[in-house]
Amino acid sequence: MDDTPANLRLLVRMLSEQNYAVMAANSGAVALQVMETALPDIVLLDVKMPEMDGYEVCRCLKADPRTCDIPVIFISALDAAWDKVRAFTVGGVDYIVKPIEPVEVLARVETHLSLNGLRRQLEQRVEERTADLLMAKEALFESKALLQAIIDTSTTIIYVKDLDGCYMLVNRRFEELFGGPDRNLLGLTDDEIFPPEIAKALRAIDEQIIASGAGLECEEVLPHGDELHTYILVTSPLRDLTGEVYAICAIATDITDRQRDEEILRELNEMLESRLAERHAADEGSGT
């Protein structure tokens, strides 16, 4: 864009000789009208033009979503620092002072076309990466929902804690026993859920797992309503791709009823043995 015919012819010839397809306009209004049907890859813009100067044209280009990313190089005889600053302020990417040197103009045009091409490639990669991340996030959400649905069907207690002891995942059985309908246990620690002595014991188990990096199986007493139940607690470390432990997974099986049955069976055996011993002693006493 330039209102001086000689300058316009020079720029058109110079760029055409380098195999650029060139659209020429002798005013800002004409240039904006041309861009309604054909968008250029770069704009060379004179500052001093009648009716609409180059600064105003640049503002219009940057305000339009269709043209806001097109690089604008100002070409002007104005060489004051303020003129250059104003050009960059309205959105220009470069400023060439007249009289122009063809080699300089071509070099700057090639540079900004390359930079704009790289920017577009980067934006495309960011969009593709963002789409991939969204798909991965959706897949992760679905996987987590599936995992939650699976562990919620278990009648045993299942949970995952981070290295600070905060619960990252709990199943429905855990929530039923230690939470409640209006209490979210995720993010809480054992100190916030269990009595102090139980919380201390559970934390000791976690610290042993973290220190050794190995799984552990033990018996642990946990509250069950107003009672205390005994559980077999199988605890294992979870590792990331580098092999570092990042969380602790546990499965707790209530063995209270089994222990009670075993105790009843033991008492019955002792009673039977006692009666057999008494019968044997009676038989010996009678000489039978």
- Same-domain status, 250 and 181: yes
Number of structural domains in the chain: 3
In terms of residue numbers, what domain contains 173?
154-254
pTM for this one?
A: 0.51
- Same-domain status, 169 and 275: no
- Same-domain status, 261 and 245: no
- Same-domain status, 246 and 159: yes
For residue 141, is it within any domain?
Answer: no
pLDDT at residue 288 is higher than 60: no
- Same-domain status, 17 and 112: yes
For residue 145, is it within any domain?
Answer: no
- Same-domain status, 9 and 117: yes
Q: Check residue 91 and give its pLDDT.
A: 95
For residue 139, is it within any domain?
Answer: no
Give per-residue pLDDT as tens, 40-63.
999 999 999 888 999 999 999 999
Give per-residue pLDDT as tens, 89-131.
999 999 999 998 999 999 999 999 999 888 889 889 988 888 8
Give per-residue pLDDT as tens, 177-188.
888 666 789 999
CATH code of 205's domain:
3.30.450.20
DSSP string, the chain: --S-HHHHHHHHHHHHTTT------SSHHHHHHHTTT---S-EEEES--SSS-HHHHHHHHHHSTTTTTS-EEEEES---HHHHHHHHHTT-SEEEESSP-HHHHHHHHHHHHHHHHHHHHHHHHHHHHHHHHHHHHHHHHHHHHHHHHHHHT-SSEEEEEETTS-EEEE-HHHHHHHS-TT---TT--HHHHS-HHHHHHHHHHHHHHHHH-S-EEEEEEEEETTEEEEEEEEEEEEE-TTS-EEEEEEEEEE-HHHHHHHHHHHHHHHHHHHHHHHHHHHHHHTT-
Give per-residue pLDDT as tens, 200-244.
999 999 999 999 989 989 988 888 877 888 888 999 999 988 989
